[in-house]
A and B are shown apart, each in its own frame.
Chain A
Amino acid sequence: MISLLLIGFVMVALWQIPSLVRTGWWKEIIVFMVLWSAGLILSVIVSMGIKLPPISTIINKSITGMFGI
């Protein structure tokens, strides 16, 4: 599963980066790499079965607790 994920992410990078390098859009490459890396790390975590905190549930608990809904 993780190897499939890595192949997918490498394909995305290979599809985007060469054209960005050719045009010399370095800022766009940096932003792309930051977002791509975040996506890769989180995807690996999720595929390994590690539970990420459910954001909407946390927001809901905070709001209902705060306002006594």
Chain B
Amino acid sequence: MFLEKGKISNFQLSVLIVGFVFGSSVIISPGGGAGHDGWIAVAIGLMEGLLIAWIFTALAKQFKDKTIIEINSLIYGKILGKCISVLFIWYLFHLGALVLTNYMHFFNLQIYPATPKTVELLLLMLVCASTVGRGIEVLARLSIILVPLTTLLIISDTFLLIPHIDLSNLMPILDVPIGKLLLASHGAASFPFAETAAFLMVLAFVDKPEKGPSAVFRGLLIAGFILIIVVARNAAVLGQMAEITIYPTYLAAQVIDIGDILTRLEVVVGINLITMGFIKISVLFYGTVLGLAQILNLRSYRPIILPVGILMVILALTNVGNTLEMFEFATKGYPVYAVPFQIGIPLLTLGIAKLRKIPPKGEGNI
């Protein structure tokens, strides 16, 4: 069943992965809980993320041209397959709403305190809906423009912060107890690296599927490397403040002051969140509507884009009581909650596929 006729290149996939990983990580530093060793936690989290990516890309490689929804139906049968697919779709939908919630809380607290939250969300959701309606190709082409620009802005911010960097803030290295560091690392893996499991809805549309895994790894490595630098930079600039503030990257950007001319650059962080949040939400939104259309055997996913978008906005508005509850969920509950979706479903499906030898040798596409 082909609800999506577009194809993306491996290069576009890599760039899309970079944008997806940046997502809300451009404001919320991963690796929280490891103090000034956060960058080490992100580095270990990246390795865990690569391991998880190896699992889901192996699954996608085994079933070329198939999304996780179609793979589930083949592996588990129609009914159980659809039940597992519904759980996966719920994860994509919920994660999309969580990114929207992050976006809403950040803009409501820092940039547009007087603008109604619903307006902020609806405006972003309309742009995402318009892009999703045009298919994965358009989203991939957009990411080619937006991701390098955002990367350039992040690197520029880092260079401008060099005069404020105090390396003693990063000392002593590995000061955190190993258990705490590993917990923080798993947190960094689950948000944002392993969230790329959502690409199980996208990998079927890569024009050279055999090179898909290397494109995913490339994207993860580039994004991971930049995030490690950003987390280390924030800790080096802010010191203890980086551990207690909600948005360390935003706070670090406020420090930039080049000759009283180049100041108030924190708004750049807000722009980064709009562009990268847009990419992440669009990928998750696309996965949700495409998956739902595949489960329900619809002829197109386009008719359900707007109602699903509205439901995502409602969930974003009611997801958490306040910003602190959101952060508690992100640091405590989410790393556990995400495991079945990021590791459980792909690993179990891959394991059963290998045991049952599905698809038979030489039939990459059944």
Chain A interface residues (CB < 8 Å from chain B): 12, 15-16, 20, 25, 27-29, 31-32, 35-36, 38-39, 42-43, 46, 51-57, 59-64, 67, 69
Tell which of B298, B303, B306, B318 touches A46, judged by Cβ atoms closer than 8 Å. Answer: B318
Stretch at the interface among B21-29, B152-160, B327-335: B327-335
Query: With a CB–CB cut-off of 8 A, which chain A residues contact B317?
Result: 46
CA distance A27 to B336 in the complex (A): 37
B44 to chain A, nearest CB (A): 19
* Known pairs A55-B318, A57-B325, A63-B336; A12 contacts B311 (CB<8 A): no
Give the residue name and chain of the B residue nearest to A67 (CB). Answer: B336
Question: Across the A-B interface, how many residue pairs have beta carbons closer than 8 Å?
Answer: 97
Query: Which range contains the number of B residues in contact with the other chain?
Result: 20 to 34
B328 partner residues in chain A, CB cutoff 8 A: 60
- The CA-CA distance from A25 to B299 in the complex, in Å, is 8
Q: Does B80 contact A (CB under 8 A)?
A: no
By DSSP majority rule, is chain A's interface helix, strand, loop, or mixed?
A: helix
Q: How far is the CA of A56 from the CA of B318 in the complex (A)?
A: 9
The complex places the Cα of A69 from the Cα of B311 at a distance, in Å, of 31
Contact check, B329 vs A60: say whether CB atoms are below 8 A apart. yes
Q: Is A56 a contact partner of B320 (Cβ separation < 8 A)?
A: yes
Q: Please tell me if the beta carbons of A60 and B303 are within 8 angstroms of each other in the complex.
A: no
Does the CB pair A59–B308 fall under 8 Å? no
State how many angstroms separate the Cβ of B130 from the closest Cβ of chain A. Answer: 13
When A27-B296, A28-B300, A54-B320 are in contact, do A46 and B314 touch as well, CB less than 8 Å? yes
